[in-house]
Amino acid sequence: MKPIVYTKIPRIDRDLIARAARQTVADLHEGLGAVAGRQCLLGPKMRPVWNGAKVCGQAVTCFNYPGDNLMLHAALRLAEPGDVVVATNGGEVQGALWGDMATLFAQLKGLGGAVIDGSARDSASVAEMGFPVFASVISVSHPEKRGPGSANVPVVVCGITVHPGDLIVGDADGVLAIPPELVETAVAGAEARSAKEEAMRARLKEGATMFDLLNLQPLFEAAGIVEVEGAWNDPR
């Protein structure tokens, strides 16, 4: 593929994005189902740069040549308020993709956050600014600005293919990249799960057990698990 920049991404209904923002990554992951949930979950190397960071917005993607961050600036230029810059150089340590100046510009522009598969730097300043940044590496390694690279094309981020316009949701538990056509499913499933767990919390406070609420006895029996009254080393 030749170096290329696409200027637009497919748009998701803003009310649906707002509903997603009220859910946790864990509930959205479960709401997607066992297969899609795994397909949308970025690898665990992707972590918030500061505790408490949360992000929910559509992906403006860029692939940067290792050691270079020229295309990051293309993504920053194209991103609209609420969007999340998703940048990768293949996860390489060399050439920090993100820092405090990019943070300031993104914050002033009203962007929703950044997800960086590669190095981010100036982590203390980013934390003070309160802008949500997730990264797979923290390193001050100097970047060049020569290219090549592309923006708003599919990119692989921590093992998951992220398409321009995917809904990026991140919190302390990880980051999801949800295709637009699956967002309604994820949100509806998360809302149902959240309501169910709220009812379970009330039952637990009344004295119920997790074993009974989850109806685990039939699963124990199906697995052939034997329960013995006593300690493992009691004389038989």
Rounded distance, CA 229 to CA 223, Å? 18
Omega before 148 within 30 of 0, i.e. cis: yes
Residue 213 is encoded by which pair of tokens?
């609420």
Is the Cβ–Cβ distance between 154 and 161 less than 8 Å?
Answer: yes
Q: Annotated binding residues for substrate, as ranges?
A: 99-102, 121
Q: Which residues contact 202 (CB under 8 A, 6 or more apart)?
A: none
Is the Cβ–Cβ distance between 86 and 58 less than 8 Å?
Answer: no
Residue 147 is encoded by which pair of tokens?
């290219």
Among the residues of the chain, which ranges form H helices? 14-21, 25-32, 34-39, 70-78, 100-109, 123-129, 183-205, 210-213, 217-222
Residue type, 95: G
Q: Annotated binding residues, as ranges?
A: 99-102, 121-122
Q: Annotated binding residues for Mg(2+), as ranges?
A: 122
CA distances from 54 to 87, 151, 182, 229 (A): 17, 24, 20, 47
Residue 190 is encoded by which pair of tokens?
């998360």
